């Protein structure tokens, strides 16, 4: 069982996650509710690992896509490393049991403290995003008497045709160093005594749905490494080719994983480098759904609004990325179809899960599954409008475990206080 079609499926009109009825989980734990399939998560990981098995890459699951401890743990048990972007993700990855020598650390604003913690843990690689960051890592490493393994993240100036908020490999974004400056930057950094310039890192954006963008970027990376070797910088032995592999949200074309593997492998082999991958969405995206209950139906301005109890604070992808998520009732389908907007209760016109969506007719009280919500779903949720965040459940076969409790209203004000002066009567 590897994908959504198998992990989340209908039996006699009822949606199941593996062998557990989704409606039962919602009745027991309430909505909005995130539900993840362990079989789908591990199946996707294995599909990727299988496609790459000839070159034995270090697969560093991108924790930002879904950072629940149980999710990260499920993958660590299969041998996965982790791609982290903060001290918080370092903490999570270690807590979930990811070996520190399989951790790669990206992000444009690493602080001295985060750098020190990662060095103390003994991570595999820092993905350096700028020259000042390289000097900071060198300084912190020297202070600790260690040498930091680093890859320069290069910006190949390739348009991977992703949403403007997730494009990272095009000139003018804040990520990495322009590839045409890279040789000069490597030469400068080569003088820093506490850096081991052992890699090159590139990540194009997400989700990438054509192989051409990878081909284009990797040709440029190969040329770069050859130029480095020509000028005597021979320390580069790791090629971190990032993540970004797309998934099917609707019916879009995606990159075939075998072709993707063949393309990346060819470039890594040409340079005799260890390949590192940072897949996120490919593993977690179709491994989760968000369930939400219809609160009201409303007719206004020639439109029908289905108002649900899940909102942009729970799943921001539709509002932030124009993301499409299939939506279906978890039970009792077959009441005809209609065109509606599915919206949440947050006080923003941007609070919607679907607009002008032709879908099965649903009524007040029905529970809906919002599919493909496993990546960049719960992790991007917030307490906006003082809404407690949803619970998360992991299903393994016929067993379901709450892997994050629903927040309470008490959780919302934890850590806040009112100064004494305001407590006194006027
Ligand atoms: C550096 C880096 N690596 C990996 C990823 C994971 O991307 P995806 O979830 O599309 O695989 C991201 C996503 O933003 C990223 O910025």
- Atom 4 in ligand 1: which residue has the minimum CA distance? 243
**What pLDDT does residue 337 have?**
95
- Pocket perturbation via mutation, ligand 1, pick of 244, 282, 286, 323 by most ligand atoms within 8 A of CB: 244
Q: How far, in Å, is the centroid of ligand 1 from the Cα of 146?
A: 28
Do both 105 and 180 map to the same domain?
Answer: yes
For residue 378, give the CATH number of its domain: 2.40.37.10
Please indicate, yes or no, whether residues 157 and 9 belong to a single structural domain of this protein: no
Total domain count, the chain: 2
> Which pLDDT value is given to residue 207?
85
Q: Tell me if 165 is assigned to some domain.
A: yes
Tell me whether residue 419 is in a domain.
no
Q: Would you state the pLDDT for residue 122?
A: 98
pLDDT at residue number 167: 62
Q: What is the 3-class SS of the chain, one letter each residue?
A: CCCHHHHEEEECCEEEECCEEHHHHHHHHCCCEEEEEHHHHHHHHHHHHHHCCCCCCEEEEEHHHCCCHHHHHHHHCCCCEEEECCHHHHHHHHHCCCCHHHEEECCCCCCHHHHHHHHHHCCCEEEECCHHHHHHHHHHHHHHCCCEEEEEEEECCCCCCCCCCCECCCCCCCCCEEHHHHHHHHHHHCCCCCEEEEEEECCCECCECCHHHHHHHHHHHHHHHHHHHHCCCCCCCEEECCCCECCCCCCCCCCCHHHHHHHHHHHHHHHCCEEEECCCHHHHHHHEEEEEEEEEEEEECCEEEEEECCCCCCCCHHHHHCCCCCEEECCCCCCCEEEEEEECCCCCCCCEEEEEEEEECCCCCCEEEECCCCCCCHHHCCCHHHCCCCEEEEEECCEEEEEECCCCHHHHHCCCCCCHHHHCCC
Atom of ligand 1 nearest to the CA of 65: 9
Mean pLDDT value across the chain: 94
Question: In tens digits, what is the pLDDT along the chain, a chain of 426 residues?
Answer: 455 558 999 999 999 999 999 999 999 999 999 999 999 999 999 999 999 998 999 999 999 999 999 999 999 999 999 999 999 999 999 999 999 999 999 999 999 999 999 999 999 999 999 999 999 999 999 999 999 999 999 998 887 666 666 666 667 778 889 999 999 999 999 999 999 999 999 998 888 888 998 899 999 999 999 999 999 999 999 999 999 999 999 998 889 999 999 999 988 888 999 999 999 999 999 999 999 999 999 999 899 999 999 999 999 999 999 999 999 999 976 789 999 999 999 999 999 999 999 999 999 999 999 999 999 999 999 999 999 999 999 999 999 999 999 999 999 999 999 999 999 876
Domain-ending residue, one of 223, 257, 284: 284
| pLDDT for position 1 | 47
| Listed residues 256, 284, 312: the one ending a domain | 284
Ligand 1 touching residue 392 (CB < 6 A): no
The answer to whether residue 425 sits within a structural domain is no
Residue 258 lies in a domain: yes
Residues 87 and 101 grouped into a single domain:
yes
Q: Is 281 in the pocket of ligand 1 (CB under 6 A)?
A: yes
281 CA distance to ligand 1 middle (Å): 8
Closest atom of ligand 1 to 285 CA is: 9
332 and 363: one domain? yes
Does 151 lie in the same domain as 113?
A: yes
Domain end: 251, 284, 317, which one?
Answer: 284
CA-280 nearest atom, ligand 1: 9
Residues 292 and 179 in one domain: no
Would you say the CB of residue 242 lies under 6 angstroms from ligand 1?
A: yes
Any domain includes 415: no
For the domain that residue 92 is a member of, what is the CATH number?
A: 3.20.20.10
Condensed to tens digits (0 to 9), the pLDDT of residues 60-111 reads 999 999 999 999 999 999 999 999 999 999 999 999 999 999 999 999 999 9
Answer yes or no: 198 catalytic.
no
Kindly state whether residues 294 and 253 are assigned to the same domain: no
pTM of the model: 0.96
pLDDT, residue 163, reads 64
Q: How far is the CA of 107 from the centre of ligand 1 (A)?
A: 11
In a shared domain, residues 142 and 182:
yes
Domain membership of residue 190 as a residue range: 39-284
Ligand 1 centroid to residue 247 C-alpha, Å: 13
* Residues 143 and 264 reside in one and the same domain: yes
Does 383 share its domain with 246? no
Examine the domain organization and report whether 280 and 390 are in the same domain.
no
Cα–ligand 1 centroid distance for 27 (angstroms): 34
Instruction: Based on the fold, state whether residues 67 and 121 are members of the same structural domain.
Output: yes
């Amino acid at each position: 069982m590897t994908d959504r079609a198998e992990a989340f499926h209908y039996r006699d009109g009822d949606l199941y996650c593996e062998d557990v009825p989704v409606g039962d989980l919602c009745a027991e734990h309430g909505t909005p509710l995130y539900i993840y399939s362990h079989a789908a998560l591990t199946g996707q990981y294995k599909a990727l690992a299988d496609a790459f098995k000839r070159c034995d890459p270090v697969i560093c699951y991108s924790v930002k896509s879904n950072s629940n401890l149980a999710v990260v743990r499920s993958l660590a048990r299969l041998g996965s490393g982790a791609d982290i972007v903060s001290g918080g993700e370092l903490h999570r990855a270690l807590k979930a049991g990811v070996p520190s020598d399989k951790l790669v650390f990206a992000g444009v604003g690493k602080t001295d403290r985060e750098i020190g913690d990662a060095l103390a843990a003994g991570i595999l690689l820092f993905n350096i995003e700028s020259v000042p960051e390289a000097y900071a890592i060198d300084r912190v490493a020297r202070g600790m008497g260690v040498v930091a393994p680093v890859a320069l993240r290069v910006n190949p100036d390739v348009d991977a045709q992703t949403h403007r908020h997730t494009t990272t490999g095009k000139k003018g974004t804040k990520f990495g160093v322009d590839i045409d400056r890279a040789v000069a930057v490597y030469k400068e950094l080569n003088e820093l005594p506490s850096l081991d310039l052992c890699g090159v890192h590139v990540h194009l954006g997400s989700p990438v749905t054509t192989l051409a963008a990878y081909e284009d970027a990797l040709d440029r990376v190969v040329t770069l490494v050859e130029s480095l070797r020509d000028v005597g910088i021979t320390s580069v032995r790791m090629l971190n080719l990032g993540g970004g592999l797309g998934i099917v949200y609707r019916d879009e074309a995606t990159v075939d994983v075998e072709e993707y593997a063949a393309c990346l492998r060819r470039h890594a082999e040409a340079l005799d480098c260890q390949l590192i991958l940072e897949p996120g969405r490919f593993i977690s995206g179709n491994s989760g759904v968000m369930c939400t209950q219809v609160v009201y139906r409303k007719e206004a301005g020639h439109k029908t609004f289905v108002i649900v109890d899940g909102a942009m604070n729970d799943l921001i992808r539709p509002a932030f990325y124009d993301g499409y998520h299939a939506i279906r009732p978890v039970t009792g389908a077959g009441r005809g179809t209609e065109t509606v907007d599915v919206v949440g209760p947050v006080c923003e016109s941007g609070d919607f899960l679907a607009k002008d969506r032709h879908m099965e007719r649903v009524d007040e009280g029905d529970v809906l599954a919002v599919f493909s919500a496993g990546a960049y779903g719960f992790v991007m949720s917030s307490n906006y409008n003082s809404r407690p965040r949803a619970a998360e459940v992991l299903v393994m076969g016929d067993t379901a475990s709450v892997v994050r409790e629903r927040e309470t209203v008490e959780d919302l004000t934890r850590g806040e206080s009112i100064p004494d002066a305001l407590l006194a009567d006027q």
